[in-house]
Amino acid sequence: MISINKCLISITILIFAVLQIFDSKAIAQTPEFTVSGFIRDKASGEALPGASVLLFKDSLNLSKPPVRGATSNQHGYYGIPKLQKQTYFLVARSLGYKSYTAIFTIKDDLYNIRFDIELQAEDIKLQEIIVKADKETGNGISSITVSPEILNQLPSLSGEVDLFRSLQLLPGVTINNELSSGLYIRGGTPDQNLTLVDGVIVYNPSHLGNFASTFNSDALQNVKLIKGAFPAEYGGRLGSVLDVKLRNGSKEKNKLIFGAGLINSHLTLEGPLTGNSTYMFSGRKMYYDALQQIIDKDGTTPRYNFYDMNSKLTFYAGGNTIISLSTLMSSDNIYSPTKSPVNYDIQWKNATVSLCWSQILSQSRFSNASLSYINYKFKSILNDTSSSSLSSDYYSVSELQDFVAKEDLQFFISENNIGKLGFDFSLHKYQLNYNDVYSYLIEYSSGSEREVINYEIAAFLQSEWQITPLIKLNSGGRFYYFNDRKFFEFEPRLNASINLDENVSIKGGFAVANQFLHLIIKNDISLPTDLWYPSKAEIEPAHSKQYVFGVESYFAEREYLFSVEGYYKQMKNLYEFKDNGIYSSTSPLTSLFTKGEGEAYGVEFFLNKMAGNVSGWAGYTLSWTRRKFDDLNMGKVFFPKFDRRHDISVILTYKIFDNLSLGITWIYASGQGFTLPIGQYRADPIGLNPQSTIQYDYMLRNQYKLPDYHKLDLNITYKFNWGRALIETYLNIYNVYNRKNAFAYIASEDKIKEEGNSFSIPKFHSISLFPFIPSVGFNIKL
């Protein structure tokens, strides 16, 4: 019965989307008059996604509602079809730009009007919208657009602003611990988050602890985070979407941004190559390990460094075609200090190359095609040098290579209906090498490597329909085929919003998603040990269903936005390592995995002060995340480490003077779960070789809660001009009150003497990574 219902719902949504797209009216009457074009930055020529275009009749009276409107897409393209023969007053707006106005008249002989718009940047005068919510951008529920402008005012560890740190400050996005990377969104693990950079998947888009993402904020054009119930154009992941667009580079002149800090330096170069092409290069190097070597030479905290590079060449072929070649490279290395009791060396590397071809096919159809190559490698070496027979060695290398071809088509069917159609083909090649002992010889042994090659095909159909001025519906579906299991499934997607009045709206969404790539977590190791594993005959694709409902309201003359959103997510076919899998080089690695399910639900509260001298936001999330695996925690339900009952973030930015600004962030999260022994006993293990040993009796999985996580960060930025250069100097204080946020307890043994006998007892020390760290630095913009 359930499957029949599911089938009926899926078919209904698809039929609805198809009917919307191909409604007879739209097919019978092609748009007679269409105005369309690109919206760009006047100085740099950069496309401006999310800019709004409004058409007024008769006069430019902004107090009256416009007759028509549109928002530019990710490529800065907009289109307004089905216009009447008459004169229109046009207003174009985008954050940080002066409003643009124009008048044009539609005449008989001009059916398709190409109207490119160039907006002039203006200095933001404290009236900025910091985080654009759904209504501002026309996005659906759970969708947030983050402006790169706000990033410049937030404090950071390295002195350099970063996208991931600002995303972590949003409700629903959880901090796992300082030694983890990736975004934990609404009870999902980082692998369940689809990260697209210029449309290309990046498997691990963050550096350790999320204090930096793998793309330099100087290179960002636009960022959209969809926390759940995402539309049909996105797929391949269970939970959420982070869609990042990088800048093309300035058409105006060569520019340079250089910054140097105590632990981090970065460089961005951009400019025109020829009259119709531009370049952009951005690179960054972090050398925290060098600083650790000086200030904490004998310490046991992990050593860490990274670098990343982004580049983009863009060629503007005529007025209708844009071709771009993008690359991304990043490398992270976390390793043990000399005096560490355990040797470890963990590295991850991303490399992507993408060729993208965007084209206006006709005034009402926009096409975007791309070819990409993606390479991601994660290597973990944990070499337990203790003499214990219960060695905790761990060695894994997983390397993923993808070749992806994509074609998306956006078309304007009617004045209120935008259709999207797309097709993806991905060829995956995975190489895995795993062992539970480590010797350097293993790294060069090909015998233990496993190689898997498979492919997936996806096609989607989506409609964004403004049914009435108050009701908007985004419906569609995605078809998936995965060759290894001959898996074919339809994923229905639906979200709707109803504006109750000018300031209050309610929204809801529903999405089904499948994921063929699993990030297998090793729960008993506190260090990052990612092992990506594809679905195969014996490994089923993960599956999720999400339901979202929310209300948002503007008040105090739209200076404030308050929203409440509830969500419920069900997940099936999740995989983790068993606690006690016995590794054998002759057994499949999958024999070490256990299959389970999960659910996550919660409520998010978000208050955003969008204008005024002091701006910022406060978010609170009350959430529950649960997992259940046959071979974990005796088959009982448990809360994973990243489950956080309460999560609060407060962000304030204050522009004291035009050239002096202050940014403050405070984060609080309930303590991370941890499994601790609660007693000791002696027993003869039953089975082979029963030898009487002391053993520990443990509490249930993650039952012990580490102390709550909280910290305050502060940033002061002072700007001044020096000749032609704009100099920004900053003071960053990370973890102002030096909170020791533990990410784990490590055991050591204390020698005790009692009644003449010497014995050892375990002692648990909390370890944390980032103490109070002040840093100063500067950026030069030429």
Partner 1 sequence: MNKILYYIFILICTVFASGCQQDEILEPDSVFTEKTVIFANLKDGLLFDGVTITKTLPLSVNYDIKKAEITNAAGYIKVNGLQLIPLAYTKDGVYKSLHPITIKSGNTYELFIEIDGKKFYATTYVPYKPVIEEAHLVGDQYLNAKIKAKSEEVYGVAWYIPGATINSYLGMAQDFQEITDPKTIVTGEEVVIRTIDIPLAYRSSTYSNLTVVKAYAFDKQYYDYFKSKSNNQQITNSYTQGGGQTIWNIMGTDVIGLFIGSSESSSVKPN
523 touching partner 1, by CB under 8 A: yes
Q: Report the site for partner 1 in 682-711 (rule: CB under 8 A).
A: 682-690, 694-701, 704
> Among 62, 103, 678, 782, which residue sits at the site for partner 1 (rule: CB under 8 A)?
678
767 touching partner 1, by CB under 8 A: yes
Q: Are 437 and 391 in contact (CB under 8 A)?
A: yes
Output 1 or 295, the one with its CB closest to partner 1. 295
Q: Report the site for partner 1 in 259-298 (rule: CB under 8 A).
A: 295-296
DSSP 497-522: EEESSSSEEEEEEEEEEEESEEEEB-
- The CA radius of gyration of the chain, in Å to the nearest whole number, is 27
In the complex, least distance from residue 629 CB atom to partner 1, rounded to whole angstroms? 11
> Among 661, 768, 777, 779, which residue sits at the site for partner 1 (rule: CB under 8 A)?
768
> Among 344, 395, 434, 438, which residue sits at the site for partner 1 (rule: CB under 8 A)?
344
> Among 108, 681, 724, 756, which residue sits at the site for partner 1 (rule: CB under 8 A)?
681
Instruction: Please list the alpha-helical segments (H only) found in 664-732.
Output: none
In the complex, least distance from residue 431 CB atom to partner 1, rounded to whole angstroms? 23
590 touching partner 1, by CB under 8 A: no
In the complex, least distance from residue 767 CB atom to partner 1, rounded to whole angstroms? 6
> Among 631, 666, 716, 727, which residue sits at the site for partner 1 (rule: CB under 8 A)?
631
Q: Are 653 and 153 in contact (CB under 8 A)?
A: yes
771 touching partner 1, by CB under 8 A: yes
Output 555 or 696, the one with its CB closest to partner 1. 696
440 touching partner 1, by CB under 8 A: no
In the complex, least distance from residue 349 CB atom to partner 1, rounded to whole angstroms? 22
Output 423 or 745, the one with its CB closest to partner 1. 745
Output 119 or 382, the one with its CB closest to partner 1. 382
In the complex, least distance from residue 523 CB atom to partner 1, rounded to whole angstroms? 7
735 touching partner 1, by CB under 8 A: yes
In the complex, least distance from residue 442 CB atom to partner 1, rounded to whole angstroms? 14
Q: Report the site for partner 1 in 161-180 (rule: CB under 8 A).
A: none
Determine the size of the site formed for partner 1 (CB under 8 A): 85
**Nearest CA to 301 among 531, 530, 529, 526?**
526
In the complex, least distance from residue 243 CB atom to partner 1, rounded to whole angstroms? 35
439 touching partner 1, by CB under 8 A: no
Give the Cβ contact number of residue 230 at 10 Å: 27
- CA 334, distance to chain mean position in Å, is 22
**Nearest CA to 168 among 771, 666, 702, 764?**
666
Tell me the C-alpha to C-alpha distance, in Å, between residue 197 and each of 103, 504, 516, 739.
Answer: 36, 33, 20, 34
Output 384 or 708, the one with its CB closest to partner 1. 384
Q: Report the site for partner 1 in 208-237 (rule: CB under 8 A).
A: none
Binding piece for partner 1, criterion CB under 8 A, among 246-254, 314-322, 399-407, 755-763: 755-763
Q: Are 255 and 218 in contact (CB under 8 A)?
A: no
Strand 193-197 versus strand 240-246 pairing type: parallel
CA–CA distance, 384 with 361 (Å, rounded to integer): 60
441 touching partner 1, by CB under 8 A: no
Output 65 or 685, the one with its CB closest to partner 1. 685
Residue with structure tokens 């919003």? 497
30 touching partner 1, by CB under 8 A: no
In the complex, least distance from residue 97 CB atom to partner 1, rounded to whole angstroms? 40
469 touching partner 1, by CB under 8 A: no
Output 300 or 499, the one with its CB closest to partner 1. 300
Output 502 or 754, the one with its CB closest to partner 1. 754
Output 411 or 629, the one with its CB closest to partner 1. 629
DSSP state of 701: T
Binding piece for partner 1, criterion CB under 8 A, among 35-43, 151-159, 352-360, 583-591: 583-591
Residues with Cβ < 8 Å from 619, sequence gap 6 or more? 169, 170, 171, 172, 604, 605, 606, 607, 647, 648, 649
CA angle, 72 as apex, 67 and 73 as ends, to 5°? 135
Q: Give the per-residue SS3 of 400-466.
A: EEEEEEEEEEEEEEECCEEEEEEEEEEEEEEEEEEECCCCHHHHCCCCCEEEEEEEEEEEEEEEEEE
The site map against partner 1 for 645-674 (x = CB under 8 A) is -----------------------------x
Output 361 or 761, the one with its CB closest to partner 1. 761
Output 159 or 619, the one with its CB closest to partner 1. 159
User: Residue 360: what residue type?
Assistant: I
In the complex, least distance from residue 732 CB atom to partner 1, rounded to whole angstroms? 12
Tell me the C-alpha to C-alpha distance, in Å, between residue 510 and each of 61, 228, 477.
Answer: 38, 9, 11
18 touching partner 1, by CB under 8 A: no
Output 48 or 744, the one with its CB closest to partner 1. 744
> Among 582, 657, 722, 723, which residue sits at the site for partner 1 (rule: CB under 8 A)?
582
Binding piece for partner 1, criterion CB under 8 A, among 188-196, 325-333, 418-426, 626-634: 626-634
391 touching partner 1, by CB under 8 A: yes
488 touching partner 1, by CB under 8 A: no
CA–CA distance, 441 with 44 (Å, rounded to integer): 53
> Among 120, 483, 585, 659, which residue sits at the site for partner 1 (rule: CB under 8 A)?
585
In the complex, least distance from residue 688 CB atom to partner 1, rounded to whole angstroms? 6
The site map against partner 1 for 142-161 (x = CB under 8 A) is --------------------
Binding piece for partner 1, criterion CB under 8 A, among 93-101, 236-244, 499-507, 576-584: 576-584
CA–CA distance, 431 with 450 (Å, rounded to integer): 6
In the complex, least distance from residue 640 CB atom to partner 1, rounded to whole angstroms? 13
Q: Which secondary structure element, helix H or strand E, spans residue 2, and what is its range?
A: helix 2-21
CA torsion angle 222 228 234 236 (round to 10): 120
Residues with Cβ < 8 Å from 109, sequence gap 6 or more? none
User: Residue 206: what residue type?
Assistant: S
Binding piece for partner 1, criterion CB under 8 A, among 17-25, 219-227, 338-346, 501-509: 338-346
End-to-end CA distance of the chain: 66
Strands (E) located in 45-153 = 52-57, 68-71, 77-80, 87-93, 100-105, 112-114, 117-119, 131-132, 143-146
DSSP state of 541: P
740 touching partner 1, by CB under 8 A: yes
556 touching partner 1, by CB under 8 A: no
762 touching partner 1, by CB under 8 A: yes
CA–CA distance, 55 with 79 (Å, rounded to integer): 12
In the complex, least distance from residue 705 CB atom to partner 1, rounded to whole angstroms? 11
In the complex, least distance from residue 592 CB atom to partner 1, rounded to whole angstroms? 12
Tell me the C-alpha to C-alpha distance, in Å, between residue 62 and each of 54, 57, 537.
Answer: 10, 11, 60
Output 103 or 678, the one with its CB closest to partner 1. 678
Q: Report the site for partner 1 in 103-122 (rule: CB under 8 A).
A: none
766 touching partner 1, by CB under 8 A: yes
**Nearest CA to 542 among 144, 194, 210, 195?**
194
Residues with Cβ < 8 Å from 280, sequence gap 6 or more? 219, 246, 247, 248, 249, 268, 269, 270, 310, 311, 312, 314
DSSP state of 381: E
